[in-house]
Amino acid sequence: MQVILLAGRYGTRPELPAGMSELEELRGDETIMNMNMGKTLFEEMVAATVAMDEERCVSLARKAVNEGVDPFEAIQNGFARGMQIVGDKLAKLECFLPEVMLSADAMNAAVEVLKPHLVQRVDRGSQGTIVIGTIQGDVHDLGKNIVKIMLEAAGFTVHDLGNDAPVRQFVEKAQEVGADIIAASALMTTTMAHMPDIDGMLKELGIRDKYYVMLGGAPVIAEWAGEVGADGYGEDAAEAVETAKRLLQKKMRR
């Protein structure tokens, strides 16, 4: 049995790391932050990501490598957490898309430094193949991009459909690449209405039994996902990764 993962509620606001004060308002293209001294490396990564400081993010990623820090932990507890804070501020209209893109560029630059060491971290071979995208009608992909990075960090091979991906594209791409997992998200209630169509299309094609289905995104809750035929759900990026691993382990036991 293969797996289709429609991954979780990426916009959930995380707790700020210990030693970090609340972020101050964004003013123009400069992020003003009030930090306590003695921050941990992960806290510095969070701060640099929110501050859109690409040079600092790259420097911190290199420092993590030199100090033998687990690169997956650096992404999950540092750079990705910073992007979650940025996403939360965007949802509250406390920042705007240009700032989000600069923070994303900073995180991506840091991840590029860490990627070679992620390959060394995982077991030989891919943990599974994933097709990921944001469901049709939805152009919000910040959360999806965080999950993509986390899945790659966990050793999965990921094929990204981008945003506004039609249901048929998820199914066809999964068949094309022999995917174990398809990950899709929705940020709006109007677009999450398309999610049950994946279950419906799989049944229509007579291949529903080949796949697990997991639904998620900011407006999605676990109960609703189960009601519309999903096999699983992830509330945030870290849980989505754990759910993907669990479903693959279930597949291997069949």
DSSP 8-state class, residue 48 = H
Higher pLDDT, 18 or 83: 83
Phi/psi at 38 (5° precision): 80, 35
Could you tell me if residue 21 is inside a domain? no
Q: Is the pLDDT of residue 243 over 60?
A: yes
Could you tell me if residue 156 is inside a domain? yes
Among the listed residues 70, 37, 67, 33, the one whose alpha carbon sits nearest the alpha carbon of residue 53: 33
Could you tell me if residue 20 is inside a domain? no
Count of domains forming the chain:
2
Whether residues 173 and 52 share a domain: the answer is: no
Whether residues 135 and 244 share a domain: the answer is: yes
Whether residues 105 and 156 share a domain: the answer is: no
d(CA 126, CA 80): 22
Whether residues 50 and 82 share a domain: the answer is: yes
Could you tell me if residue 142 is inside a domain? yes
Query: Comparing 3-7, 120-124, 125-129, 170-174, which segment has the lowest mean pLDDT?
Result: 3-7
The model's pLDDT over 15-51, given as tens digits with 9 standing for 90+, comes to: 444 444 444 343 333 333 433 334 799 999 999 999 9
Domain extent, residue 71, equals: 26-121
Whether residues 44 and 68 share a domain: the answer is: yes
Give the angle subtended at the CA of 80 by the CAs of 128 and 167, to the nearest 5°. 50
d(CA 87, CA 178): 32
- Tell me the CATH number at 97: 1.10.1240.10
Does the model's pTM come out above 0.85?
no
Whether residues 104 and 129 share a domain: the answer is: no
Whether residues 147 and 239 share a domain: the answer is: yes
Whether residues 162 and 210 share a domain: the answer is: yes
- Tell me the CATH number at 163: 3.40.50.280
Whether residues 171 and 196 share a domain: the answer is: yes
Could you tell me if residue 19 is inside a domain? no
**Domain limit, last residue, from 86, 121, 156:** 121
Could you tell me if residue 115 is inside a domain? yes
The model's pLDDT over 101-126, given as tens digits with 9 standing for 90+, comes to: 899 899 989 999 998 887 655 554 56
**Domain limit, last residue, from 121, 148, 166:** 121
**Domain limit, last residue, from 95, 121, 147:** 121
Counting beta carbons within 10 angstroms of the beta carbon of residue 73, is it exposed (0 to 12), middle (13 to 18) or buried (19 or more)? middle
